Amino acid sequence: MRELVALVLALVLGTAGVAVAQTSTSGSTSAKKTTSRNVSGTVKSSSMEALVVAGRDKGRDAEWTFAVEPTTNIRKGGKSIIAGDLKPGDSVQVRFTEQGGKAMARSITVKGKDGATKKPKP
Protein backbone atom coordinates (compact mmCIF):
# COMPACT_ATOMS: atom_id res chain seq x y z
CA MET A 1 0.00 0.00 0.00
CA ARG A 2 2.82 2.40 0.85
CA GLU A 3 4.41 1.73 -2.51
CA LEU A 4 1.16 2.64 -4.27
CA VAL A 5 0.86 5.93 -2.33
CA ALA A 6 4.52 6.75 -3.09
CA LEU A 7 3.93 6.05 -6.80
CA VAL A 8 0.83 8.28 -6.92
CA LEU A 9 2.69 11.11 -5.13
CA ALA A 10 5.63 10.80 -7.52
CA LEU A 11 3.32 11.05 -10.52
CA VAL A 12 1.45 14.06 -9.11
CA LEU A 13 4.62 15.93 -8.13
CA GLY A 14 6.31 15.10 -11.42
CA THR A 15 3.36 16.47 -13.41
CA ALA A 16 3.32 19.70 -11.36
CA GLY A 17 7.02 20.23 -12.07
CA VAL A 18 6.41 19.94 -15.81
CA ALA A 19 3.53 22.44 -15.65
CA VAL A 20 5.70 24.96 -13.78
CA ALA A 21 8.49 24.58 -16.33
CA GLN A 22 6.09 25.19 -19.20
CA THR A 23 4.62 28.29 -17.56
CA SER A 24 8.00 29.90 -16.92
CA THR A 25 9.15 29.25 -20.49
CA SER A 26 6.13 30.95 -22.03
CA GLY A 27 6.52 33.88 -19.61
CA SER A 28 10.08 34.60 -20.77
CA THR A 29 8.95 34.70 -24.41
CA SER A 30 6.41 37.47 -23.74
CA ALA A 31 9.02 39.51 -21.84
CA LYS A 32 10.99 39.90 -25.08
CA LYS A 33 7.93 41.29 -26.87
CA THR A 34 7.35 44.07 -24.31
CA THR A 35 10.73 45.80 -24.61
CA SER A 36 10.14 49.53 -24.45
CA ARG A 37 11.75 52.18 -26.64
CA ASN A 38 11.90 55.97 -26.45
CA VAL A 39 11.59 58.53 -29.23
CA SER A 40 11.59 62.32 -29.15
CA GLY A 41 9.95 64.63 -31.62
CA THR A 42 7.21 67.14 -32.30
CA VAL A 43 3.47 66.44 -32.16
CA LYS A 44 1.90 66.55 -35.62
CA SER A 45 -1.57 65.55 -34.44
CA SER A 46 -3.27 63.99 -31.45
CA SER A 47 -6.60 62.56 -30.40
CA MET A 48 -7.80 60.56 -27.42
CA GLU A 49 -6.83 57.33 -29.25
CA ALA A 50 -3.71 58.22 -31.26
CA LEU A 51 -0.66 60.45 -31.40
CA VAL A 52 1.45 61.25 -34.48
CA VAL A 53 5.01 62.47 -33.79
CA ALA A 54 7.61 63.70 -36.28
CA GLY A 55 11.31 63.50 -35.45
CA ARG A 56 14.61 62.02 -36.49
CA ASP A 57 15.66 58.39 -36.32
CA LYS A 58 19.20 57.31 -37.22
CA GLY A 59 19.87 60.66 -38.90
CA ARG A 60 16.74 60.60 -41.07
CA ASP A 61 13.36 62.30 -40.82
CA ALA A 62 10.81 59.93 -39.30
CA GLU A 63 7.17 59.87 -38.32
CA TRP A 64 5.57 57.58 -35.75
CA THR A 65 1.94 56.86 -34.96
CA PHE A 66 1.24 55.68 -31.41
CA ALA A 67 -1.92 54.17 -29.99
CA VAL A 68 -2.95 55.98 -26.80
CA GLU A 69 -4.82 54.08 -24.10
CA PRO A 70 -6.58 55.36 -20.97
CA THR A 71 -3.64 53.95 -18.97
CA THR A 72 -1.03 55.98 -20.92
CA ASN A 73 0.75 58.34 -18.50
CA ILE A 74 0.84 61.83 -20.07
CA ARG A 75 2.65 64.67 -18.24
CA LYS A 76 3.15 68.35 -19.00
CA GLY A 77 4.87 70.72 -16.58
CA GLY A 78 4.77 68.06 -13.87
CA LYS A 79 0.99 67.62 -14.15
CA SER A 80 -1.09 64.82 -15.62
CA ILE A 81 -2.99 65.71 -18.78
CA ILE A 82 -5.05 63.82 -21.35
CA ALA A 83 -4.07 63.09 -24.95
CA GLY A 84 -6.55 65.69 -26.22
CA ASP A 85 -4.51 68.39 -24.43
CA LEU A 86 -1.46 67.73 -26.66
CA LYS A 87 -1.10 70.36 -29.37
CA PRO A 88 0.69 70.30 -32.75
CA GLY A 89 4.19 71.66 -32.21
CA ASP A 90 4.56 70.32 -28.64
CA SER A 91 7.98 68.77 -28.12
CA VAL A 92 7.50 65.30 -26.60
CA GLN A 93 9.32 62.19 -25.50
CA VAL A 94 7.31 58.98 -25.95
CA ARG A 95 8.07 55.66 -24.25
CA PHE A 96 6.31 52.85 -26.14
CA THR A 97 6.13 49.11 -26.66
CA GLU A 98 5.20 47.08 -29.74
CA GLN A 99 2.08 44.94 -29.35
CA GLY A 100 0.42 43.11 -32.19
CA GLY A 101 2.22 45.25 -34.76
CA LYS A 102 1.15 48.52 -33.09
CA ALA A 103 3.27 51.05 -31.22
CA MET A 104 1.50 51.47 -27.87
CA ALA A 105 2.39 54.68 -25.99
CA ARG A 106 3.10 53.89 -22.32
CA SER A 107 4.16 57.41 -21.32
CA ILE A 108 4.30 60.79 -23.03
CA THR A 109 6.24 63.70 -21.54
CA VAL A 110 5.91 67.21 -22.96
CA LYS A 111 9.31 68.91 -22.95
CA GLY A 112 10.10 72.61 -22.60
CA LYS A 113 11.32 74.80 -25.45
CA ASP A 114 14.96 74.14 -24.53
CA GLY A 115 14.44 70.37 -24.95
CA ALA A 116 14.54 69.68 -21.21
CA THR A 117 11.62 68.07 -19.41
CA LYS A 118 9.73 70.68 -17.41
CA LYS A 119 9.79 70.14 -13.67
CA PRO A 120 7.19 71.45 -11.25
CA LYS A 121 8.11 74.46 -9.11
CA PRO A 122 8.59 73.68 -5.41
Domain ranges in the chain are 1-33, 36-111
Burial class of 110 by CB neighbour count within 10 A (0 to 12, 13 to 18, 19+)? buried
Alpha-carbon distance 17 to 78, whole Å?
48
Alpha-carbon distance 34 to 17, whole Å?
27
Q: Which CATH number fits domain 36-111: 3.40.50.720, 1.20.1050.10, 2.40.50.320, 3.10.20.30?
A: 2.40.50.320
Nearest CA to 42 among 119, 111, 122, 116? 111
Alpha-carbon distance 22 to 81, whole Å?
42
pLDDT string in tens for the chain (122-residue length): 566 555 454 544 454 443 333 333 344 444 445 689 999 999 999 999 999 999 999 999 999 999 999 999 999 999 999 999 999 999 999 999 999 899 999 999 999 764 444 444 44
